[in-house]
């Protein structure tokens, strides 16, 4: 089970968004409804600055499990930001069958 730092216990209901890879985050976005994404976005966006401040205390290669989960949660926030703020749908509009595959994660 994914757990977040105690300072971010309010985000635990969204811990299922703490996914380590971009393909996992994208699949979660596509499988989520807009109301689900909006709820996650509203909760996480309000804690973004706090999360950045918290994570800046660590070296990227030396994150403990709960800090890493918080980082992945914020990466998922980025993943849902355009669908929530701009497109109002999980998929990229007018993209047809286009697909981009990431070949290396910055940190897992």
Size of the chain in residues: 108
Taking the domains of the chain in order of start, what are their residue ranges?
Answer: 6-87
**90-104, pLDDT tens digit by residue?**
766 555 555 566 666
Cβ-Cβ contacts under 8 Å for 13 (sequence gap 6 or more): 43
Tokens of 73: 């949660």
Predicted confidence (pLDDT) per residue in 71-97, tens digit: 999 999 999 998 888 877 776 655 555
Contact between 12 and 3 under an 8 Å Cβ cutoff? The reply is yes
**Which among 67, 3, 73, 80 is positioned nearest to 37, based on CA atoms?**
80
Q: Note the pTM of the prediction, 2 decimals.
A: 0.83
Separation between Cα atoms, residue 12 and residue 3, nearest integer Å: 7
């Amino acid at each position: 089970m994914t757990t977040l730092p105690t300072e971010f216990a309010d985000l635990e209901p969204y811990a299922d968004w703490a996914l380590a890879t971009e393909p996992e985050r994208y699949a979660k976005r596509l499988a989520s409804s807009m109301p689900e994404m909006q709820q996650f976005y509203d909760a996480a966006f309000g804690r973004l600055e706090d999360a950045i401040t918290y994570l800046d205390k660590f070296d990227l290669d030396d994150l403990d499990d709960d800090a890493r989960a918080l980082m992945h949660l914020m990466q998922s926030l980025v993943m849902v930001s355009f669908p929530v703020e701009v497109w109002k749908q999980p998929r990229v509009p007018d993209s047809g069958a286009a697909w981009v595959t990431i070949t290396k994660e910055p940190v897992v």
